[in-house]
Structure 1
């Protein structure tokens, strides 16, 4: 019933009334925040002073926590069993797709977290099969960057394949240019710039500028790949899943 009423109250055309009705359901919403007309299916909403959510977003989450001066702008899709926490002055701009499949495709918990003054700009895709953490003063800039927290590895013959999951962790003062692709399990250290069109397939540690690597050959052997990973055994999932750490 709370989810249904949250959906209904989110469509109320009068802003102050939207806040009052959402607060009546137990959501923690500052009267100094701003909320447009959106589709909400969220168990817990917490909006601090001057946090703002624009218009025509579809937000179906476990929880949304927005600190002071954080924002979600317009026409975003945030859908799946995960949590979102936006730090002070951080935000998600327009037309982003942030998704996670339900169990038994996904398992356990996942979270999207942005630190202080960090941004996901417009028209990006974030896969939340596992968590994505972005530190302070970092930006996913431009358009069409993809952050993938799962992928697949096939055997050389037949139907055998495994899924490989891994969190993405981006530290402080990181700039990501347009149309970059992040593979699962990637860690990016602080004070790193990533040029447009780059494919990030390994951890970036040393400070400085990175651009896309040349295409290279890697031996494809599923059994050897399995030895480097940890199999998920504590959850019922629909396929063989391994964790990249």
Structure 2
């Protein structure tokens, strides 16, 4: 809460000064060419690589580590949260739980998504969380034990997640794969270069591994 209040107080300042204060006050690692807009990033550890950015009106809280690789970005209006580590009642059966969000180089989370990082989220390099209103949910109630439980969600390198999808705890999208719009991914798949779609998502067809999207050396798409 204190970090959030301090950052709100710092928002009117020019970015170069705000960056220096965030580094000095909280020990955040922010590259000189990285940038945070009018956003609140109340995390324990922050690593922003060269050219990484976080857009206006994004809120990040309750996350242990937020890491963006070089030229990775989080767009505008995203809500990113996690259940903090070390709670005396919840998740005590998962002492190795990590509530991190790690986004690889040149990967992009666009606008107005909801990410629950309680069990950890990893998004591989050059991947895109496209459109808006996608939800990644890494924890839920285990009805068999009547307790909160979490599992990580992973999105491989060079993936494309369409608009308005849901990815549940334990889900994994293999590298160079597409999750079709409005799909529900509720398990870990291993077959790379595939289109997955539906509710729940299933492998629909293989994708040509020579697609230009899968071989970008720059995250920008014309």
TM-score by length of 2: 0.77
Q: Among residues 194, 206, 217, which one is paired with 1:208 in the alignment?
A: 194
Q: Does 1:169 align with 2:158?
A: no
Tell me if the contact between 2:186 and 2:200 (Cα under 8 Å) persists in the aligned partners: no
Structure 1 residues 9-88: aligned runs within 5 Å: 10-22=10-22, 25=24, 43-55=26-38, 57-88=39-70
Q: What RMSD over aligned residues (CA atoms) do the two structures have, in Å?
A: 2.5
**Change in CA separation of 1:178 and 1:10 when aligned onto 2, cut-off 3 Å:** same
1:234 match = none
Which residue does the alignment assign to 2:138? 149
Which residue of the other structure, out of 78, 89, 109, is the alignment partner of 1:96? 78
Matched residue, 1:241: none
Structure 1 runs (4+) greater than 6 angstroms displaced:
none
> Which runs of 5 or more structure 2 residues have no equivalent in the other structure?
202-222
Q: CA offset at residue 98 of structure 1?
A: 0.4
- The whole-number CA distance in structure 2 between the counterparts of 1:209 and 1:21 is 44
Is 1:110 the counterpart of 2:110? The answer is: no
Q: Contact 1:180–1:196 at 8 Å: present in 2 too?
A: yes
Contact 2:154 2:171 in 1 (8 A): yes
After superposition, the Cα gap between the structure-2 partners of 1:101 and 1:50, relative to the gap in structure 1 and judged at 3 Å, is: same
Aligned equivalent of 1:180: 165
What are the Cα deviations for residues 139-197 of structure 1, in whole angstroms up to 9, with x where unaligned? Answer: 11011111111122325xxxx62333101111111100011111101122111011001
What is the TM-score normalised by the length of structure 1? Answer: 0.70
CA contact (8 A) 1:96 1:125 kept: yes
Aligned length: 192
Tell me if the contact between 1:9 and 1:22 (Cα under 8 Å) persists in the aligned partners. Answer: no
Tell me which of 123, 127, 142 is aligned to 1:138: 127
Alignment partners' CA distance in 2, 1:211 and 1:4: 38
Structure 2 counterparts to residues 186-197 of structure 1, below 5 A: 186-197=171-182
* Runs of 5+ consecutive residues of structure 1 not aligned to the other structure: 27-42, 216-245
Structure showing greater Rg: 1
